[in-house]
Amino acid sequence: MDRKIVGLRRRTLLTAGATLGGLQLASPFIISARGEAPVKIGMVDPLTGSLSAPAGPEVEGAKYAVAELNKAGGILGRQIQLLVEDSANDVGTGVQKTRKLIDRDKVDVIFGDVNSGIAYAMSQVTNEKKVLHIVPGGHTDPITGADCKWNVFRICNTTTMDATAVSGELIKRFGKRWFFITPDYAYGHSLQDAFVKQLKKAGGEYQGDMLPIANSDFSGTLIKAKAYKPDVLLNNMGGLAQVDCMKQFTQFGMEKEMALGGALFELEALQAVPVEAKAGWWTMEWWWNQPGVPHVAEFVAAFRKATGKTPSARHWFGVVAVHSVKLAAEKAKALDSLKMAHALEDLELPADVALQPGKVRYRAGDHELMPNIFVGNAHPAKAGANPDDMFTVAKLVPGEEAAGSVADTGCHMKYPA
């Protein structure tokens, strides 16, 4: 006599039942009382994959700011809780994690992502769910340009801002014949377009190669660049690819034949390249060494004490993102997304958050932060100096000057009725 129940063994069923029961105890139950619930911030960033190098510091900066603010009483008297999720540099995962944070964890604000494509896809979700969304470090123009949304604010510069800021210096110092090495996706395209626009204005000429985003072998392209004999080689690659490109550039001995430059060469990348590759003209979106500017030295010292690291622009993005939530919530006296979005418009960052000279505000027309852009040259740290002192700022370009008008960005801000 076959005593099976429904094709499963009785013991299996019993085990399954016991496991399910156990799971009930082990899993997090939904919180029912929300009296003094913390202010929840959800952060989605590519902690794994080729953009993990810039993503890690953003999260670290946000965590640092959360810890500091919590010590000082949090936001509207409530503690802040930061929930971090890995987008794995994949759009589907990033979108799903955003829904998880909003639907399940009921976060008040969303941060992310370093990858502009994911940041854009996330903004569709946050817009649909009407949740305030701050993009700390995804650079492509449309996020605060043609695709701008009422609930989306951005801290890092647009690619156009970075390219415009450094172009003038490159033309003035080296010349108007350029060779581009550009990653073949929207970020790369819009960056190169911005450079070409400035170059054409000055009457220059160029050639270039579009390479896969995670390219690791640059020998073919570098040989081509050598043959073209440009005044400047523009390395537009990002993350690990940029570092690989720099290393091969110096291995080929090309630094003697042409100048090197580009939009971004972040502190994280500078730390990763060998001494010979610490060179060229770039922009920093924030730089830690600003002698004489109030609050900066204290911030750097406190950050070093807490984390053992010198703060980079990515750290600063994370810090500004958290402080923006606090500033918006306190100005709006609420955590409502719509009210906070209105509060953030034209909101000026206080000096101890802006950490740079001049006025830094979120422009109302396109929700883009308008900080200074630090144009300068990279070099190995001088003997006796701090090992992270690898960049000398030559010029501060005001963000507004590099960004152009709101009309130029193509943004038409629409609020829900």
Partner 1 sequence: MSGALARERPTTAIVIFALLLTAPFWLPYVGGYDALATRVLVFGLAAMGFNMLLGFTGVMSFGHAAYFGLGAYGAGLMLRYVTSSTMLAVVSGTLLGGLAGSLFGTLIVRRRGVYFAMVTIAFGQICYYIAYSWNSFTGGFDGLRGFSRQPIDLGFTSIDIQGNGTAFYYFVLLIFALAAAAMGLILRSPFGRTLLAIRENERRARFLGIPIERHIWMSFSISCFFTALAGALYALLNNFADPLGLHYTLSGEIVIMTVMGGMRAFWGPLIGAAVFVVLEDTISSMTVNWMSFVGIIFILVVLFFPRGLLGMLKRRDAA
Tokens at 366, concatenated = 């396109």
Q: Which is nearer to partner 1, 184 or 408 (CB)?
A: 184
Residue 166: CB minimum distance to partner 1, A: 23
What distance lies between CA 328 and its chain's CA centroid?
20
Residues touching partner 1, count (CB under 8 A): 46
Q: What 3-state class would DSSP assign to 25? A: helix
Integer Cα distance of 265 and 239 in angstroms:
9
- What percentage of the chain's residues is helix, strand, coil (to nearest 5)? 45, 20, 35
* Residue of 1, 21, 28, 71 that binds partner 1 (CB under 8 A): 28
Cα–Cα dist 301/158, whole Å:
29
**Of 35, 29, 87, the residue nearest 58 (C-alpha):** 87
Which of 70, 96, 251, 271 forms a contact with partner 1 (CB under 8 A)?
96
383 touches partner 1 (CB under 8 A): no
Backbone angles phi, psi at 161, to 5 degrees: -60, -45
The interface mask with partner 1, positions 155-194, x = CB under 8 A, is -----------------------------xxxx-x-----
Query: Residue 88 interacts with partner 1 (CB under 8 A)?
Result: yes
Q: Is 121 in the site for partner 1 (CB under 8 A)?
A: yes
Q: Report the nearest approach of partner 1 to the CB of residue 390 (Å).
A: 27
Residues in the chain: 417
- Helix (H) / strand (E) element for 18: namely helix 10-26
Site membership for partner 1, residue 90 (CB under 8 A):
yes
**104 counts as binding partner 1 under rule CB under 8 A:** yes
Residue 24 engages partner 1 in binding (rule: CB under 8 A): yes
CA 312 – CA 286 distance, rounded (Å): 7
- Stretch (H or E) spanning 183: strand 177-183
Selected range binding partner 1 among 98-106, 252-260, 261-269, 337-345, rule: CB under 8 A? 98-106
Under the criterion CB under 8 A, does residue 304 sit at the interface with partner 1? no
What is each CA distance from 183 to 23, 33, 373, in whole angstroms? 46, 49, 22
Q: Shortest approach of partner 1 to residue 99 CB, angstroms?
A: 4
- Check binding of 217 to partner 1 (CB under 8 A): no
Rule CB under 8 A: say whether 44 interacts with partner 1: no
**Identity at 149, one-letter amino acid code:** K
Under the binding rule (CB under 8 A), the answer on residue 34 touching partner 1 is no
Contact pick of 38, 40, 52, 70 for partner 1 (by CB under 8 A): 52
Q: From the list 78, 91, 177, 358, which residue makes contact with partner 1 (rule: CB under 8 A)?
A: 91
Q: Is residue 87 a contact partner of residue 44, using CB atoms and an 8 Å limit?
A: yes
Crossing angle between the packed helical segments 239-251 and 52-71, to the nearest 10 degrees: 130
**Where on the chain is the footprint of partner 1 (CB under 8 A)?**
4, 6-9, 12, 16, 23-24, 27-30, 47-48, 52, 83-86, 88, 90-93, 95-96, 99-100, 103-104, 116-117, 120-121, 124-125, 128, 140, 184-187, 189, 212-213
